[in-house]
Structure 1
């Protein structure tokens, strides 16, 4: 099987060392292509850089495109220490600083990655020149998928036993098929998911120990934060919601008309909360926009950057 990193990025998979939210040194996997101003592609929960496979080449014609795997995901390190609720926000900010030396970047992010990106734009406005968020989990009513609910309720100790006992490797065909079913469910056209896609999307869960545990841990954090949101207890989501007016960069909100996880009315609500933001509804698009509707996503991103004079600077 051809190495996806080598096939996609001139230098293949690179490694960045950062200090994570717990104060530990961790390795972050990333790739970059193109020259010019930096543009980050930020994946959602349970996925990794492969989700942006259709965007790297088109956007690299105009930008230095940077794809990275969040800690615990894809090919990045998976430490056993327990996580803080805001660890993805802290680590996204540190990754951006390390790779851009504080140069303001375009951030294109989806789902949970978009939620973290909203927080970074609120707290570190000098880091974000333009922001595009896609199907962002900013007004959640609950975890949107049965598989997420299942993982969020399993003891992490049990999942660690499964992970480090390589049980997912031993059950690779079953794991790959379950993940294929899950990915098809968030595509408007399920037939777009190829056998190669199934192989690479499931690869970290099958081949890289710790992936299942770290994804489950983030799901448990998300479930707890959503529950606290509903109970009006202190939580990270309401903090991000309450600070949306602090986002000063030009912002585009993209939402799949057929998103089965979060309704596009959430996008309308978000547009009303971010000063000067624009909302574009993507037709024939489910939750997984980067994989299912990449042409529409890429075109919308480039048009937004033209309209806000970023490509002319």
Structure 2
């Protein structure tokens, strides 16, 4: 019981010191506002109050007790001190007490980063229109055309007839046995990748997937010495809690061009804010994100354009010539025809 009481007293000491500092800071502020005239309070003058209070500082302020005693002696002759020296003494006291108050109040750990997501990909018109870049009135026309196509979709609609797919993509999907919109809807994911966990660099754990928002400290792109077909881009990121290396790989001769590599580095200039999602790995150089999804943000709070960063992504069985991104977009394109699919669950279980 005695030990518990002692621990409680130790925990209370910083709080008592904070209250003591705040009381003195209030008196110092009033003196400054009063023109350093050694104001008369209800029971004593400002200088007498400071002289006595600084001699009786709480135990939590023992590290600066000698400085406080020196200040106390200076306030003992405050009445005979010229105005300029009074001002300097008050400023010096306020600065010392402010530093101690910051020491007594441990800095709160920064919270997770924040991201503003763009419009949901469930809006089929937006997803389909993104497959065909357009601008101005042509973009509006494309979105309207996509909307009409989506409204007419049926589960039995051949994929080659779905607006935004085309015969080439339909041919690739046919290798997976996907011939109609209904087939694609029932092509269920085999897994999910969770990029929705927004974390600070300090909180990252190897083997997990996460999204970080950090500042570019360095960006470097080069061709591997061991494999001339492999180009590596390394980005050093930093947030308030630490640093992280991000590595992306590009396979192909065209990526070995110096012009292309410089263009990639210009996308992530030093000082730019970047959102990165990927698998956290530990190497001999520390934590890294291996081959992540990246997007540079022009300004804080800007909505993400990526449909992957900060989201939960479906992972589908693939075939040659079909990328994961392509398949996800194809599924999103045919989602409207779910409205015409009968719910297999009986009403009592819905």
What band does the TM-score fall into relative to the shorter chain? Answer: under 0.3
Larger Rg belongs to: 2
TM-score (norm 2): 0.23
TM-score (norm 1): 0.25
